[in-house]
Amino acid sequence: MSAAERAREQLVDWPDLTSGQSSCGVGTSLSSGGREIVHFHTGPQTDVQLTPAAIARLDERLRESTAVRLHPDSGWVTVLVECDADIDLLATLVSVALQANAAQHPAPVPTPCNFQRTTILRPETEQRASEPRRALLGLRRRGIIRPGHAA
């Protein structure tokens, strides 16, 4: 069973979430109060509706994660769920999403998730300069290399 499947099994047991078909037509969704909160697409790709305000508040932390993909003009973030640490990250973001969506009154107009959207993380020159550092941090976070090890 994949990490994304394990994450879905954990989250489907949360009392505030209801399972159903994703409005984008690919995969399953978990909703709360009639609002889709998370979509489980193919493979490790999972979209979480954090809301633009929550994304702005968490922007720096989200950009630090090698598992998170941000998309311009979207209230959704994509999380690549590939290991246990990613499952924990997804659960945390779903918790934030539940709070952020519940705080929006009246309910926001539903927006499409990020399935098949183009990912834009940073301007190209800045992204190229930070890729080796982000890759190293991702390997350390996943326990592939130890802290202090010069890869």
What are the pLDDT digits (tens) for 61-116? 999 999 999 988 888 999 999 999 999 999 999 999 999 888 765 555 566 666 65
Q: How confident is the model at residue 151 (pLDDT cuts 50, 70, 90)?
A: very low
pTM: 0.71
Structure tokens at 53: 């305000």
Q: Averaged over 3-10, what is the pLDDT?
A: 94
Using one digit for the tens of pLDDT, what is the confidence trace for 14-62? 998 999 998 888 889 999 988 899 999 888 999 999 988 899 999 999 9
Residue-level pLDDT at 112: 65
Residues with Cβ within 8 Å of 7's Cβ and at least 6 positions away in sequence, in order, are: 40, 46, 81, 86, 87, 90, 91
Using one digit for the tens of pLDDT, what is the confidence trace for 109-140? 566 666 655 444 444 444 444 555 555 565 55
**Alpha-carbon gap, residue 138 to 132, rounded angstroms:** 10
SS3 39: strand
